[in-house]
Amino acid sequence: MSPITSGRPAKPATILDVAAAAGVSRQTVTRAMNGMPGIKESTRERVQELARELGYTPSRFAKGLVQGSRTSVGLAIPDLTNPYFPAFASSVVELATRRGWQIVVDDYGHGGRSGLDAVDHLAPHVDAVIGYLGGYADQAQAALGRRPLIVLDEIPGGAAGSINFDYNQAAKLAVDHLRHTNRVRIAYLDACESRHPGLTPENQDPMVPSRVGGSGLCTVRGKAVADRLDQIRTPWSLITAEETAGAARVAAGALFQDRPETDGVLVFNDLMAAGVLKAAADAGLRVPEDCAVVGMDGIPLGELLTPELSTLALDLREVGRAAVELLDGLLAGAIAPGSDAARLTLEHRLVLRESA
């Protein structure tokens, strides 16, 4: 008679049921279950055995209520399907687990949900949130009240903490490398309908250069790339696609057809760059001889592609570590919410493999 097949599924057993069955008090059961001293060993064993038989599981709610909050952290992720995010999440989960925190995860990439929806869903169950929210920092922090929110890759707004990336530095690295290798017809493939931080109307640049179909520049990454390209007076074109490899492949295919003179492509992220590599192969272009391709993110996937992808790489484990340590400081009171110490900026480095 296993504990699984026996019981009435009705009411779960409480500590009182175990106490009654063992003929002892609540407190003795507590002592037995939690390895506390002041209990005879034979009693402890008897109680534990009985608890097992009754299928007793201590209520996490009662326990939390009396012992004070264990730390539970929400993790809001736009899309687990993009390898960037699991790599980041993996690091966060590892370090959080090491601290004894639990991670409650929400992938809001389905069903038209937003980063704010994710935070709303997580809020009742967590003491803090870390997440790529795509532009809801203020509202999300409001939903969390005093509990710290750490936003990544987004204007911090009212968020307690933030981790950002220096896209100007990154864009300079990539653009200058393309120019130094004599690429003169450069294209930038931006993500559209992006969950990534948008440009606000006031800092959106109406003077974007010529483009090949699609809508305008819509990400801060794109803005940084555009700025750098303009700065060094290089002619360039803009294309956009949804943030998937497939969409990027189609868009880049059109680019290579419309503008065969293109000899360098900068791409919003590595996943889309993989699509561009495919499109180049489709078009019979040799990479990097005919056209260089540079991605962004530094996901492990890049090394497996053919040719291996050159990219503006982030150390994703480092990003996760920064987020967790920042949250740690915030929770411990060592870092003041919204202070400069709570605003981190990380840099990309240019990893040259085969594609550029």
Partner DNA sequence: GTTAGCTTCGTGAACGTTCACGTTCGTAGA
Partner DNA sequence: TCTACGAACGTGAACGTTCACGAAGCTAAC
Contact residues for DNA, defined by CB under 7 A = 11-12, 14-16, 23-30, 33-34, 38-40, 43, 56-59, 61-63, 65-67
The Cα diameter of the chain in Å comes to 86
Using CA atoms, how far apart are residues 165 and 175, in angstroms rounded to an integer? 17
Closer of 66 and 332 to DNA (Cβ): 66
Answer yes or no whether residue 103 interacts with its own copies by CB under 8 A: yes
Q: Enumerate residues 104-133 that contact its own copies by CB under 8 A.
A: 104-107, 109-111, 121-122, 124-125
The correct pick among 16, 26, 45, 65 for binding its own copies (CB under 8 A) is 65
Q: How many CB atoms lie within 10 A of CB 141?
A: 25
End-to-end CA distance of the chain: 65
Binding-residue pattern over the window 308 to 347 for its own copies, x denoting contact by CB under 8 A:
-------------------------x--xxx---------
Which parts of 192-251 interact with its own copies (CB under 8 A)?
A: 245
Near its own copies by CB under 8 A: residue from 14, 21, 48, 158:
158
Q: Which does 33 bind (CB under 5 to 8 A by kind): its own copies, DNA, none?
A: DNA
Least distance (Å) between residue 20 CB and DNA: 10
| Cβ-based neighbours of 115, under 8 Å, separated by 6 or more | 76, 78, 108, 131, 132, 133, 134, 135, 136, 140, 195
Count CA within 13 A, CB hemisphere, residue 70. 14
Q: Which does 55 bind (CB under 5 to 8 A by kind): DNA, its own copies, none?
A: its own copies
**Cα 113 to Cα 132: distance, rounded to the nearest angstrom:** 13
- 38, 146, 210, 261: which one binds its own copies (CB under 8 A): 146
SS3 233: coil
